[in-house]
Amino acid sequence: TGVRALDATPYATISGVLGFQTYLTERSGHDFYGFIGLDPAGYVVWALNVSSTDYESTIGDLPSHAIAQFPEDNTYAVLCQGKKQLTRYDAAGVQIGDAWEPAYESSCSALSHEVFIDTSTNRTQVLSLMHTVEAFDDTPTEFTLGQKLVKWDHMNNTMTDEFSIFDVMDPRTVVSWEDPFFPGELECTSDEGVYDTYEMSDFTHCNSAATGSDGNYLVSSRATSTVLSIAKDHSGVQWTISTDDIGIVSNFTFVDEGDKFYNQHFVRQLANGNIVMIDNGNTRPSTRRNRDRALQDVMGVAPDGEAPYNPLAEESFEGVGDDSSSSFSRACEYFLDFDAMTIELVWEFAPAGIFTVEGGSIDALSNGNRLVTFPFIIGDDGGYYSNVYEVDSLGASVANMSVPWLGNSSLYDTPTRGLSVETLNGELAYNHSTY
């Protein structure tokens, strides 16, 4: 890569034996802007370094990059935030075909967060999310930021709209949570060609989109703690799950109120209809169960809601589990009962002391385990890290790695997710012990 931190020694710190071949994630810093591939020993074995012009947002948006692999030929769909926002590359970093670029270099209608390979039709296409800025009367800010689900046909470089969040959510009736990292304004060019500094609220913060198991798309709205199932035939919303009492009607009732998710990332639907996600938990309310879990994180108290607290210990940790400290993050799987219209937590991984304020992903490995990424962790040394865990079917970690950020700046280098690939360019499994 030409970056000493990436090339000289193992970049990641490993504990245990990881079951993936290569782990892909984004990094920027030291004149590197792009994506790296790590082997199970922590070495960087692949890199895609695009230009800062293509990688960095031109409108002051939150960092949001993603990569996915086309299964038919091991090429890659890459989401960036600059001039080229959706591009196809081969494993050697050579661009294939035309990249999708917005109408204006500083367009308000920029892509964000998602690159999902849709193989459900004969013609493989790419799902992403596009910002849309609307002006409403009687809202706290003059403009409101939402998102559209869009589909990119990389063969002819066309983009089509599939769904707009404003079709089902109105900022005048829904009160959403504002991501504290959002700057409150974007310097961008409207669809009408007017460049300005637009004051706006980050109303929905849609952060993932994927195909589902029932002729549907899944769209995640982080700011409203909502998951929407959208019919592919454009007939509308199939169902909604929302956990905050903010004006959105949820079609499902939680079997256990303590199992609700908050401010989630990376929602996917499995073949059996279950959904998986990263439950970030930024606005998780203070409940007995969450207080138990917070106490367990700092002092080892069992989170079963039955064991009595140690009064002396509680005095030592006054405030643990209140509204300012009840947040924890976890990977979750939920069962959706379409007869009873209930949702039930059936699997989780919630390592003690882990709270990722942004991002996260969950990926299936060929050995049956899952690869869980918590990308925004502050280490004991004050540095920023991504903690990546291989987790078994019982929710137990069998191995993990800690991957430092490259630029170590929450403003520019924020990674959001990671995924495993079995091969980078069609090669067979290689012997990692030689590194």
How do residues 100-143 score in pLDDT, each as one tens digit? 999 999 999 999 999 999 998 888 999 999 999 999 999 989 99
Supply φ then ψ for residue 284, to 5 degrees. -60, 125
Name the residue with tokens 């769904």: 163
Q: Are strands 125-135 and 143-153 parallel, antiparallel or unpaired?
A: antiparallel
pLDDT at 290: 56
Amino acid, res. 403:
V
| Alpha helix (H) residue ranges in 300-371 | 311-316
Give pLDDT tens digits for 262-280.
999 999 999 999 999 999 9
Whether the pLDDT of residue 85 is over 90: the answer is: yes
Alpha helices, H only, 222-299: 288-299
Cα–Cα distance measured from residue 376 to residue 45, given in angstroms and rounded to the nearest whole number: 23
Number of C-beta neighbours around residue 102 at 10 A: 23
- What is the mean pLDDT of the segment spanning 4-13? 94
Residue 433, pLDDT score: 35
User: Three-state DSSP class for 433?
Assistant: helix
Q: Say if residues 418 and 25 touch (Cβ distance below 8 Å).
A: yes
- Which residue bears the tokens 């245990």? 16
Give 7's contacts (C-beta < 8 A, 6+ positions apart).
1, 44
Residue 196 tokens, joined: 């300005």
Q: What is the tens place of the pLDDT at every residue in 23-80?
A: 999 999 999 999 999 999 999 999 999 999 999 999 999 889 999 999 999 999 999 9
Instruction: Quick: pLDDT tens for 302-343.
Output: 334 333 333 333 333 333 333 444 689 999 999 999 999 999
Contacts of 427 (CB under 8 A, 6+ apart): none
**Residue of higher predicted confidence among 295 and 241:** 241
Please give the pLDDT value at position 175.
Answer: 86
Contact status, residue 200 vs residue 145, Cβ threshold 8 Å:
yes
Beta bridge partners of 385: 377, 404
Nearest to 407 by CA among 96, 22, 36, 141: 36
Using CA atoms, how far residue 348 sits from 166, 351, 357, 395, 397, in Å, is 32, 10, 18, 6, 11
Measured distance CA(281)–CA(355) in Å, rounded: 8
Q: What is the DSSP letter of 347?
A: E
Tell which residue, 373, 344, 354, has the closest CA to residue 265.
373
Residue 144: φ, ψ to 5°: -130, 130
Residue identified by tokens 């802007």 is 33
Q: Give the amino acid at 316.
A: S
Tell me how far apart the alpha carbons of residues 103 and 116 are, in angstroms, rounded to a whole number: 22
Q: What is the pLDDT of residues 375-411, one digit of tens each?
A: 999 999 989 999 999 999 999 999 999 999 998 666 6
Res 318: pLDDT: 36
What is residue 118's predicted lDDT score, i.e. its pLDDT?
95
Q: Tens of pLDDT along 203-227?
A: 999 999 999 999 999 999 999 999 9
All structural domains of the chain, each given as residue ranges with its CATH number in brackets, are: 4-299+327-425 (2.120.10.30)
